[in-house]
Structure 1
Amino acid sequence: MQLFLAIAAILGGLAVAGGAFASHALQNQLTERAIAVFNTGVRYQMYHALALLTVAMLLGTAKQALPWLTAAGWCFIVGVILFSGSLYLISLAGLKAFGPVTPIGGVAFIAGWVCLAVAALRWA
């Protein structure tokens, strides 16, 4: 699926930019803890950009519709938005109210990996 490939590339590029931003521009602006929180968001964003890239490549080789694989891709995207996005808001803006959103993003990541496993087991 071209959309997943494009989103994976964007998420990966933004993760690299975010990591560089944290290492250079934020070093003197945020506490060590806030930078660690930000970097956790960057790390998980990159992991799941790569997972989404894998999903896109698998969908590109499939000869049939694979709804579980598609669901995995959407779960990874939602996970990045909720998990990494909430960590960015917490670290950069101090919006601690977004703390409860982070685990929801984590659940989306887990759901994506479960969907990927089911897709693998159902692959014909």
Structure 2
Amino acid sequence: MMKSATAALKLEVYLPATPREFQERMVSREEFDELRRNPPGWLVDLRRDGPHPRHVVAARLRISNSGLARGGITEPLTTAQIAELVADPPPWLERERETQAEVLREQRRLRGRDEGTDRANG
């Protein structure tokens, strides 16, 4: 069994936007698997339209969760709101995207360095 908050996180939906009966109960592994295999209409709608949890908003904007906070985004956003930001990115979003790109480049560089070290030691 898992809490509804855990299930919502794994389903990548914003818990307060889910039906009350989902929020107020435990979810079995079988129920969770069924939700993933055969999502009900409310789940399909939430995934498509939102509101979306922070980690989903950040991923769709291609920035970090911290970048959202620095940009002043503290509330969940809908798909339409995300699309507006993407269509006409404010300066903070452009800065955060560049920051995120730099972080990813550095992670790739370090991973490549570590893999080279592993091969040399192997």
TM-score, normalised with respect to structure 2: 0.34
Structure showing greater radius of gyration is 2
TM-score by length of 1: 0.33
Greater helix fraction, Structure 1 or Structure 2: 1
